[in-house]
Each structure stands twice: as C-alpha cells, then as structure tokens.
Structure 1
Amino acid sequence: MFEQTPFEGVTAHPNGVVVNPGQKELRSRLLLDAMGHFSPIVQQARQGKKPDAVCMVVGSCAIGFPKNDSGDLIVSFTPLQNQCQYFWEAFPARDGRTTYLFTYLDADPDRPTLEMLFEDYLRLLPEYQQVSLEQLQFKRALFGFFPCYQQSPLQPQWNRILPVGDSSGSQSPLSFGGFGAMIRHLKRLTEGIHESLQVDALDRRALALLQPYQPNLAVTWLFQRAMSVGANQKIAANQINQVLSGVFKEMSALGEPILKPFLQDVVQFPALAQTMVRTAIFHPGLVLKVVPQVGLPTLLNWLIHYGNLAGYSALNPLGRSLQPWAKKLPPIPQYYVRRWFDAWQYGAGGDYLE
C-alpha cells in the first residue's frame, strides 16, 4: 500500500484487483490481506460473526526485578478468579524483564474488561515475580485481545483476494496471533503464491488451497475449552490447574520429543495419542471432570478432528513419496496436487523442525 493512504476498498475484476478505486488506485493481479483480525475485508467475509473465543492479554516491560535469565512459557499459581483462569509468561528483556498475564474466554459481554485484567496483573505480579511494585520502573505496557474463530483458516470469499497472517485466522486458539503461524508457514505460502501467479490459479477455489483445513489446529479447540470456563459455568476453583498439571506431567514423562512441539504450537498425532492414553490411565478422575466442563458436542466434534489428524499423518508420507511424480504433471494440476501435499504435511504437524 502507499504510505499515508488509508485502505478504502477493493474491487475484484476478472483480470485483477483495484485497491481504492477512483482514488489513488493500486492495481494488481492478487491482493494479500494482511490487515489483521479487524481487516474490513475479513469483517465483510465473516459478516459480523461473534468470535468463538477470545484470548485477553496484558503485560509490561520493567526494570528492577531480581537478576533472572530464565523464562516462563505458561505458569498458573491462582485458582479461578472472575470466572477466569490466569496464566503468566515471563522473559528476560534488554530493558529488564517482560511479563504477561493472559486468559482464555468466550465473548460474553459480561466478561472482565482489559482495565480490570490489568488491575489483577498489578495485584498479582509481586507474588509471581517475588518483587514489590515499588521496586519496578515500568518502561512499556501492553494490553489487547485476540479473537478466535472455529471457521479458520478463513477461506477466500472472492477471487484474487487471499487473507494471510491474523487476517486468515491460521493460528490455534491457544496462540497469541497469526504472525507466528504465518512465519512457520512462510515457505509454503511464498512457494504456493508464486505458483498460483505463475499458472494464473487466482480464483477463490484455487486460493483456498493456500489456507487449507488443518486438523492439528482444529484439535486444539478442546484444549482451549479445557483451559477456560463459561461465564456462568460452575467448576471446582482449581480444576483447570489440576488438569494441566496432570497432562504436563505425562508429557514431561514422555520426553522432549512429545513436549517441545506442543509448546511451540505444533500438535502431532503420535504425541497427542500417547499423551491422551497416559493421562487417561494415570489420571482417570481428571479426564472425567473435563467432559462436563467442555461439553459433549465439543468432545464429539474434537473426535472428528482427531480422526482427521490421524488420516493426515498417514497421508503425509504418501505426499512426500509422490513429489517426483507431481513434478511431471501439467502446471495447473501440479499446482493443485502440490497444495494437497502441503495441506497433509502442515495439517499433520509434519513441518515441525527442532
């Protein structure tokens, strides 16, 4: 886009797109929408649909903490508060230490505001980091929220317009946004977009293959539900902490090859299956508590995605073995076949690298 020129609209034509028609026009064969969750194109595509879940996050970077070069990915030390389970992250930073408080919610209007969440952050931060607020000098503050939709990644609704990053919703409901997901998918996206332009496969059906269904992301909706509680739901105050403690204990016992991909937001069928079996064997009571918490429809829907994850895991090696054959196909069929191979690989977590 041009600098100091707001996006006003885009018109898709049979042979290209025109951004800001009638003004300072920009013409192209393909528009990549990287304007985020609140992109006007995405809002039109989703037609005002309410998010299925929200991740709220507040935090700061400050100096004055005791010397600490370690980091936390996910820490919980309090029971449910305000119908929220609070999770924390902390990392060393150039200007001291960065700390975050985040929680998973539904989009009920009675949920706490970001201001209320920030108040709890400041109240609980001393206990979390063993430091008084008077010792800290805050350099920066952060607050925001990330909407999550089960209808993700968002399929292109129009020819020649492709959502990427947060616009596509290609992240799991556990992660903080689509930027990291886009980075992990960068090779697949750049090669796929290049091929689509080369062979002129720019209609919505062809572009949809660049943001395919990924069962390894879909299965994480069950985890999001297990780490949150409904606005009016009643569960034991420490139930979520107990469930997570049990699950992470078994993942840790299985070793880094199981635990590390999950912590990097990559779910793979063998790791998930082993974790679920061990948790069911050693913590059957916790599993029984989760079922009414997440609800039977959510569990049944998860079983479908779990089965698809197994199927994609079986198809991924087949896709790799057929790569030489695919290169002999004509350009258009080759584009489609290669996108299917990519979908199997990434949908199974086969893109994961140590």
Structure 2
Amino acid sequence: MSAVTTYAQAPERGWLTPIGRRRWQNFKANRRGYWALWIFLLLFGLSLCAEFIANDRPIVASYKGELLFPVFVNYPEETFGGFLAETDFRSEFIRDEIEANGWMIWPPIRYSYQTVNSYIPHSAPTPPFWLMSKEERCAAYPQGADDPGCTLGNMNWLGTDDQARDVMARMIYGFRISVLFGLVLTIASAVIGVSAGAVQGYFGGWTDLLFQRFIEIWSSMPVLYILLIIAAILPPGFFILLGIMLLFSWVGFVGVVRAEFLRARNFEYVNAARALGVGNGTIMYRHLLPNAMVATLTFLPFILSGSITTLTSLDFLGFGMPPGSPSLGEMIAQGKSNLQAPWLGLTAFFAMSIMLSLLIFVGEATRDAFDPRKTFR
C-alpha cells in the first residue's frame, strides 16, 4: 500500500495583494488604456532625457586626448584656445578646433529650447526644413548648399518660432515642464485634499461643519481671476505658479475622501480598534485610508490632465512660466500671432491633444480597474 503525500500549494507572493492583482488584470484588459499608459511613460521618459535629444552642446567630445562631457559641464572657451567665456560649440572656430584635435558626438537635434538659429534662410518664423529645398534651407550658410555646417543635425525639423528658436526642441522641453508641473501639483493637491477630507469625515461634528463652511466659501471664489491677479503681482516662476494653483486645486479631493470616512468611521472593525486602544491616527492611516484611496486614484489621471490644461491656458494668456521658458501655451500664443506660420500652432495643438488623450485613456482604464463590480466578479 503506497502512501500518497500531498503538499499544500504555497500562496503566490508578490508586492500586490490578490485584489491588487485583479485590478491590474482589469487595467490590462483595457488595451487602449494599457498601451496609452506605456506610450505616455515612453514620451515622458524621453522628455526627461531632453538634454540628450535636443541640445546646442555635444553629448561627449574628445579634445587632445581628454574626454569632455559638455552636456553636464560648462567648459570655458579657454579650454579650446579661446577666451574666458562660455563656449559656443556651434561656432565655426570651436567646431573646427575640436574636429582637428578630436571628435564630437551631437544630439539628434543640435538646438536647445533657447538656442537662436543664426542661419535661417529668411526672417523668422521659418517652416520645417522638409518643406524647403536644400538650396533654400542652406541659403544663409557661407558656402550655400555645399557648406559643411548645413547638415541634417542643424536643420529645424518643425521649423522655428518668431525668435528663430527651434520648435521641436521647445516642444520636447515644454512637454517635460507641463508633465512635471502637473504631476507635482496633482500629488500635492491629493495629499492636502485627502488629509483634509480624512479629518472631516473621521471626526465629524463641529470639525466637519467648520471645514465644510470654509470649503464652500473657498470654492465660490473666482479661481481664474484670482490666479491672474496673483500671477500679475508676483514674479513668474515654476514654484510660485505651483503654489498659487495649489491654493485651490486640493478642494476637489475633499468630498470623496470625506464621504468614505463618514461611511466607514462607525464600522465594527473601527470600533474594535478603538476598544483595543488604537490611536485615531493609526485607525485613519492603516484602516480607513486604503479604502478611501480607491476612489481618489481613479481621479488622478483626470486631475493631472486638468492641471496641464490650466498651465497651458495661463501660458497662453501670458501669466504662466517666465518669458523664454519652453511652453506649449506660449507656442499656441505664437501660432495665434503668426497665422502665416501654421506649424507653430499645429505643433502645440497636436502635442497637447496626444498628451491629454493618453491621460484620458489611462483614466478610463483606471476607473474600470477599480470598479468593484469587475474586481469582485
């Protein structure tokens, strides 16, 4: 008689709970939202490496046996036999000097967001290089079409703006600023809004009443007018604009979190935790907050897209980032002022449309993933 030994199957381990894995599977089931997330992360990742994609400095250079990294270090012109000034790697003198004593590896686009192209064929703005013949786009170079500087790397892929700056480079840097601004604003707003909603819902009573009256008054203020007034008084800047918008953006999170805490604060497991002497902070953070965050997470992609749209609107009106900063809103404003150069407005329009569409698709997939009818089905 043979003995049959059975072994209990070990539970699957991972950093996701079973419910979390089910939600991730529901998210992946929405193919449009799933691939939109990866495309958005890819574009955002590329924008974080903007200095290696669009820059007026070489990524790496070798000069007289010494390895240089101009993209990270500001080398004085004295290094290459010049003066005590910042090196302009696009000048013919520096280019010939380095190529005669070494080599350079340039980014695909040899312009940064503030670089002015001195070799445009006519007054700015100029169209994309593929809309012009080689003779036209090389007309400003000393040797014309035969000039060694008139290469694909020195061309303006999407043309130039009204200050002869490369549109492609400004779009890449502007995309990065828009997403970073939206992410920081969304996360900060979520932290403040969730904290305020948790305090209101958990303690209730006079605490909830006073908070609610304050939020009602605060929400009734004309946000856009206040933003414009404050932005006109204070000097423009990334963190100043972030602080101004943060004054009002946190309110949208309060209602959802407050309702969840009001619903769950008298559940049996919460009363049992109180009876065991567990502190209010631990109950709020360990037991109630995870349930309240489900509804909050579904809002985040939509709040992010709204933050980016608000920044673009303020930049379009001239109350956003400092003058000269790469901005999609500023590019749209240039397109409005230069109707004879449609590539300015169209570039910013398509960049905004693609970015916001991807975020909306991700938001819809996130909403479906956290839908309890699908999670527990």
Q: Name the TM tier (shorter chain).
A: under 0.3
TM normalised by structure 1 equals: 0.25
TM-score by length of 2: 0.24
Question: Larger strand proportion, structure 1 or 2?
Answer: 1
Larger Rg: 2
